Amino acid sequence: MFGFGKKKNEEFVGNDASVSEDIQNIEEENFDENNQVEEVAEPEKKKGFFKRLKEGLTKSRNSFAESFANLFKANEIDDDFYDELEETLVTADLGVETTEKIIDDLKVKVKELKIKEAEACKQLIVNIIRDQMSVDDTAYDFEDKKTVVLVIGVNGVGKTTSIGKLAAQYKKRGKKVLMAAADTFRAAAIDQLKTWSVRAGVDIIAQGEGADPSAVVYDAVSAAKSRNTDILLIDTAGRLHNKKNLMDELGKMRRVISREYPEANVESLIVLDGTTGQNALEQARQFSSVTEINGIIITKLDGTAKGGIAIAIQSELNVPVKYIGIGEQVDDLQKFDPTNYVNALFADFDVKSDIEIIIDSDIEKIEPDDDNFDI
């Protein structure tokens, strides 16, 4: 029987250890008799997610939107125009490979549609970029299955914070959620997740600092099975792909999950810090060469005026960005919506008229010789 009913001070013995005294304390201190978590004060009502994302991505005068707008001051579509476009896209963290793809695509369309003026390329570029980022319909199926979400990534990218936010959101949607503190390197890491467990109102499985992460995973999986948990979120230590022992440890955790809980779906999410640009892309590339990755969480998009990294990752790795983070509060993480993202990225490109781009998916269906072609 799973040990949440254990008495305080009960010793941990090997894999039987299910819950620590600290966790009991958290539950007793923060849950009333109806097992409801105490309200934790949220800051004043904030603006909507899209608005804040847009503000984050366009707040600097050197933002992508600003440089993009400047591109169209020149009228002709010549080599200079393409060079400038290339520079703008690369500087915005889209990377060389993705930029080349976009420009090649654009050249074909400009020819097909017989476009002569740079201005007329705006919407085409936006559409091409959006199409680099399509997220498959099945990307979020895991949320409705019995799932173990393994959250990985290098130090400080936002793994623990993202787990806290996801846990709170899943719980709000009526899911039975459990967290596991498999980052046992530092006591502070375990405490940080405990704080989030209180805030999100979900239970946590943890052992002491230095415990074997796979033993924590074992406990968590047993607990998830016996409690009929919908989503088990596992926090792991920040690791580098080239640290063999750490990567082996990750492999061990995955083996424990598939051996002990074969009926569960495993969703492996890598967290990347959006402010680190091409480094983030490199991390994703390296991790995916040693372990399976089902999706990406890009955090800290409130701290960059670039934002192209989300496009580069989708287009180069073929792994979907599933969530993006734009701050440290519970609702600052949301599902990734390519259309919204592109709209936020380009929102202020027409600074004079303050017109937002409305993505028109029909634009490419317009006949090349249509005299009314106008964007």
Ligand X SMILES: Nc1nc2c(ncn2[C@@H]2O[C@H](COP(=O)(O)OP(=O)(O)OP(=O)(O)O)[C@@H](O)[C@H]2O)c(=O)[nH]1
Interface residues toward Mg ion, by CB under 5 A: 159-160
**Least distance (Å) between residue 159 CB and ligand X:** 3
Are the C-beta atoms of 304 and 275 separated by less than 8 Å? Answer: yes
Asked whether position 329 contacts ligand X by CB under 6 A, the answer is: no
Minimum separation from the CB atom of position 274 to ligand X (A): 8
When binding is defined by CB under 6 A, the residue of 58, 88, 127, 160 that contacts ligand X is: 160
Report the residue number, 183 or 348, with the smaller CB distance to Mg ion. 183
Closer residue to Mg ion (CB): 64 or 196: 196
Residue 60 binds what, of Mg ion, ligand X, none (CB under 5 to 8 Å, by partner type)? none
Residue 179 in contact with ligand X, rule: CB under 6 A? no
What is the Cα–Cα distance from 230 to 232, expressed in whole angstroms?
Answer: 7
* The Cα angle at residue 301 between residues 192 and 37, in degrees rounded to 5: 35
Residue type, 7: K
Tokens of 267: 């969703």
Determine, following the binding rule CB under 6 A, whether residue 249 of this chain makes contact with ligand X. Answer: no
Give the separation between CA 87 and CA 68, rounded to whole angstroms. 10
User: Which of ligand X, Mg ion, none has residue 158 at its interface (CB below 5 to 8 Å by kind)?
Assistant: ligand X
Q: Which residues contact 72 (CB under 8 A, 6 or more apart)?
A: 118, 119, 121, 122
Residue 299 binding target from Mg ion, ligand X, none, CB below 5 to 8 Å by type: ligand X
> Does 241 participate in binding ligand X (rule CB under 6 A)?
no
Q: Which stretch binds ligand X (CB under 6 A): 100-108, 209-217, 323-331, 334-342?
A: 323-331
The verdict on 159 binding ligand X (CB under 6 A) reads yes
Determine, following the binding rule CB under 6 A, whether residue 200 of this chain makes contact with ligand X.
Answer: no
Decide which of Mg ion, ligand X, none touches 303; Cβ closer than 5 to 8 Å per partner kind: ligand X
Query: Is residue 327 within the footprint of ligand X (CB under 6 A)?
Result: yes
- Give me the least distance between CB of 206 and Mg ion, in Å please: 13
52 contributes a contact to ligand X by CB under 6 A = no
With CB under 5 to 8 Å by kind, the binding choice for 201 among Mg ion, ligand X, none is none
How many Å apart are CA 334 and CA 326, to the nearest integer?
9
306 binds ligand X (CB under 6 A): no
Does 238 sit near ligand X (CB under 6 A)?
A: yes
Angle at 289 between CA 273 and CA 338, to 5 degrees: 45
Rank residues 30 and 195 by Cβ distance to ligand X and give the closer one.
Answer: 195
Nearest C-alpha neighbor of 25 from the set 194, 171, 178 = 194
* 247-253: Cβ within 8 A, 24+ apart: 247/290, 247/291, 249/213, 249/214, 250/150, 250/152, 250/291, 251/291, 252/213, 252/214, 253/150, 253/182, 253/213, 253/214, 253/217
Shortest distance in whole angstroms from residue 256 CB to ligand X: 20
Residue 307 in contact with ligand X, rule: CB under 6 A? no
Q: Residue 320: how many CB atoms within 10 A of its CB?
A: 20
Judged by beta carbon, residue 184 or residue 222, the one nearer Mg ion is 184
With CB under 6 A as the contact rule, which of the stretches 61-69, 141-149, 159-167, 223-231 interacts with ligand X? 159-167
Distance CA 163, CA 171 (A): 12
Structure tokens at 128: 């091409």
Query: 155 contacts which partner out of Mg ion, ligand X, none, CB within 5 to 8 A by kind?
Result: ligand X
59 binds ligand X (CB under 6 A): no
Q: Which stretch binds ligand X (CB under 6 A): 90-98, 207-215, 226-234, 322-330?
A: 322-330
Q: How far is the CB of 159 from Mg ion (least distance, A)?
A: 5
Q: Which helix (H) or strand (E) holds 255?
A: helix 244-260
How far apart, in whole angstroms, are the C-alpha atoms of residue 347 and residue 325? 19
Tokens of 179: 């967290």
Shortest Å, Cβ 53 to ligand X: 10
**C-alpha–C-alpha distance, residues 340 and 347, integer Å:** 10
**Contacts with ligand X in 254-293 (CB under 6 A)?**
271
Q: Is 268 in a helix, a strand, or coil?
A: strand
The size of the chain, in residues, is 375
List of residues contacting ligand X (CB under 6 A)? 153, 155-161, 183, 189, 238, 271, 299-300, 302-303, 325-328, 332
